[in-house]
Structures are given as structure tokens and as C-alpha cells.
Amino acid sequence: MKSGESVERIMWTVVGCLLPPLILSVFIFGFQTLIITLVSVGACVATEAVTQKIFHRPITIRDGSAVITGLLLAYIIPPGVSYWTPVLGAVMAIYVAKHLLGGIGFNIFNPALIGRAFLVATFPVAMTSAWLPPIRDVSIFKYMGPGIDAISTATPLYVLKHYGIQAVIEKFGSMSSIYGDFFIGWRPGCIGETSALLLLLGGLYLLYKRYITWHIPASVIITIAFLTWVFGGEKLFTGNSLLAILSGGVMLGAFFMATDYVTSPTQPAGKLIFGAGIGALTVLIRFKGGYPEGICYAILLMNPMAPALEGWFRPKRFAPEKGAVR
């Protein structure tokens, strides 16, 4: 309110920050990632327009919020799914998770994550196996060892969880090359989560513009790194915090999903606890759950905590004592 920024400007700036990972994804996985993303964005915008028309609300598709939901939904699904898959996720994200709860500003859960959770529950095989190897990265074939041929296009987290750190090294190369490749984005994964570098740059720009603050991203990343270092067993991350950050969707979730204005706290202390809770739940799901990645469900589980954290850390406002002002 004080800065003069508008919802439209903020939303479209976030869209701009999300475009570089898409460009890299097209280069790494192929042109179908662009088609999936366009279908997802188009379905979200169309669902928003139709829903607002049905509910007799002003049509606000130009504000960019539906576009962001479509981008994020596409970014957190595998690049090998069918083209119609994001359409179903878009309906769940926009119609159910957003507008049935009152529209923008009233949703309890992050719409894109609800869309993904729905797709995982409805099409579990496609959403957990439609991974593609980087088409220009020959190391994914070069380092395949005996016993892991069946997981030739599995994500690093899947290999790590089910086969251990040695299988990751056999599949992706030495640890030094793994760090570099994963940081740039040369690894199997969801469409928009692979490049920690581009996501970090986009997040830093949002910090520079003061559209987000450092509290949630820092607390998410630091908590995941610390708990992985403390509790990472020999079969899992062996305490390798950097691998835990680079091998999943941590950067995308920390900077672009956990910081959603509507579903996260506004006060610094609340943001720190909110982010730490996401980090702790992510590690818990990764280590003890049946799902290799946990950031999606960790954010969804913490979203309902945002109102409580707002109440617990409500800022104190100055008011003169009774009778002091006449």
C-alpha cells in the first residue's frame, strides 16, 4: 500500500522471474515441456474466467494470478505426462482450491500445490514415473551401473531413497560433477524445479524488489540442510545437506510457493516458524515417508497454520493510556 505497487505488477514480475527455468527446461527435456506449460496456463486462465462468470464476479484474468498458478502447476509435474493432465489439475487448483473458497485472498491452501496433490492422488503412476533424462546430458547413460537399469529416468531423490548414495554416484557421476550439474539443472525432475541457479536468481530479484522477504526461504533451506546433516543416514543423504537442497524442489518451493501472500504469515517471527515447519516436514517425509520428495505436502500442511501464526505474533500497536489524551 505504501509503495504504490499493484497486484498486477507483482504478479507479472513473478511470472517474469519464472520464465528462465521454463526456457532451460525446454532445452533440457524437449519442446513438450513448453506445450504442457502453455496448456496448464491456458487451462488456469480459462477456468478462472469461466468460474468468475458463473459466480457473477469481476473477471480479473489480467492480474496474472491465474497465470502464476498455471506456471507453478506445470513446474511441479513431470515432463513426460500427457498434455491433458494439467487441465484437470488446473480445474482443481482454480475452481476448487481458489474460487470455491472466495477467490484471490481467501484461499487456505496454495492452489497450484492442491492441483498437484490431486493429480498425484488420481494418477499416481504417471505423476511418479513420467520422468525424462536430460536430452543433452550423456552422463545419465554413461554412469548407469548394474542393478539400476530399471530406473534409467528416475529422479535423484528416488535413486537416493531406494538405492542409496552410491547409486546416485554411479548414475550421475562424481559428487563434484553432481553438484555442478544439479545446480545448473542437468538432472531428471519436474519441469521447472531442476535449475537451482535460475530459481535462486529469480528469488533474489524478488527479494531485491521487496516482493518477498528472506525469512521464509532462508528458514526452509537452513532447516532442511541442518536436519539432513543431523539425521541423514548412510543410505540416504549421509548428512550431505547440499545434495538435499539441490536434488529436489526445495528452491522452487522456498522462493515461489511458500512465500505466497495469501497462505503464509506476514510477521517476521511467524515467517521463520512457518519456514522451519516446512523444512522439518520436508525432511520427515523424505526420510520416513513413502514419497521421495516432501516440499509439496510440507507447504500444504503448514498453510493452515498461517492464521494461527498471524494471531500469535500480532504486532503490538501503540495506544495512549486511558485518560492520557483529552
Structurally, the chain folds into a number of domains equal to 2
pLDDT at 217: 96
| 200 class by beta-carbon count within 10 Å (0-12 exposed, 13-18 middle, 19+ buried) | middle
Confidence of residue 151 (pLDDT cuts 50, 70, 90): very low
Single out the residue in 129, 156, 171 at which a domain terminates: 129
Residue 322 within a domain: no
Q: How confident is the model at residue 98 (pLDDT cuts 50, 70, 90)?
A: very high
Instruction: Report, as an integer, the average pLDDT of 174-193.
Output: 86
Confidence of residue 244 (pLDDT cuts 50, 70, 90): confident
Q: Dihedral sign, CA of 177, 183, 184, 188? A: positive
Domain for residue 2, yes or no?
no
Q: Is 80 exceeded by the pLDDT of residue 146? A: no
The parent domain of residue 279 ranges over 139-312
Cell triple for residue 227? Answer: 536436519
- 25 in a domain, yes or no? yes
106: closest CA among 98, 115, 94, 117? Answer: 98
Grid cell listed for 254:
522456498
> Lowest mean pLDDT: which of 67-76, 141-150, 218-227, 253-262?
141-150
Same domain, 50 and 184: no
In a domain, residue 65? The reply is yes
Whole-prediction pTM value?
0.86
Lowest pLDDT segment from 141-155, 290-304, 308-322:
141-155
Is the distance from CB of 126 to CB of 78 less than 8 angstroms? yes
Mean pLDDT of 17-27: 93
Q: How far is CA 317 from the centre of its chain?
A: 35
> For residue 321, is it within any domain?
no
Banded model confidence at residue 248, pLDDT cuts 50, 70, 90: confident
- CA atoms of 156 and 21, how far apart (whole Å): 18
Provide the pLDDT confidence category of residue 106 given band limits of 50, 70 and 90.
confident
Of the chain, the percentage scoring pLDDT greater than 90 comes to: 52
| Least confident stretch, 48-52, 66-70, 81-85, 176-180 | 176-180
The predicted pLDDT at position 323 comes to 58
DSSP 309: H
229-243, 280-294, 300-314: least confidently modelled range: 229-243
Q: Stretch 9-35: mean pLDDT, rounded?
A: 92
Average pLDDT across the chain, whole number: 85
Residue 22: pLDDT band by 50, 70, 90 thresholds? Answer: very high
User: Domain ends where: 88, 106, 129?
Assistant: 129
219 and 189 belong to one structural domain: yes
Residue 150 has pLDDT above 50, yes or no: no
**Same domain, yes or no: 108 and 145:** no
Distances (CA, A) of 81 to 76, 124, 125, 126, 153: 11, 11, 10, 6, 13
Same-domain pairing of 38 and 119: yes
Residue 176's pLDDT band (boundaries 50, 70, 90)? confident
Answer yes or no: is 323 within a domain. Answer: no
- Tell me the three state secondary structure of residue 226: helix
Q: Which of 1-15, 78-92, 194-208 has the lowest mean pLDDT?
A: 1-15
Among 14-28, 44-58, 130-144, 197-211, the minimum mean pLDDT is found in 130-144
Instruction: Report the distance separating Cα 215 and Cα 207, nearest Å.
Output: 10
pLDDT at position 138: 41
Domain shared by 151 and 279, yes or no: yes
> Does the pLDDT at position 316 exceed 50?
yes
Q: Is position 234 within any domain?
A: yes
Among 86, 107, 129, residue at a domain's last position: 129
Q: Please report the pLDDT score of residue 235 as a whole number.
A: 54
Structure confidence at residue 272 (pLDDT) = 96
Please give the pLDDT value at position 92.
Answer: 95
Q: 93 with 172, same domain?
A: no
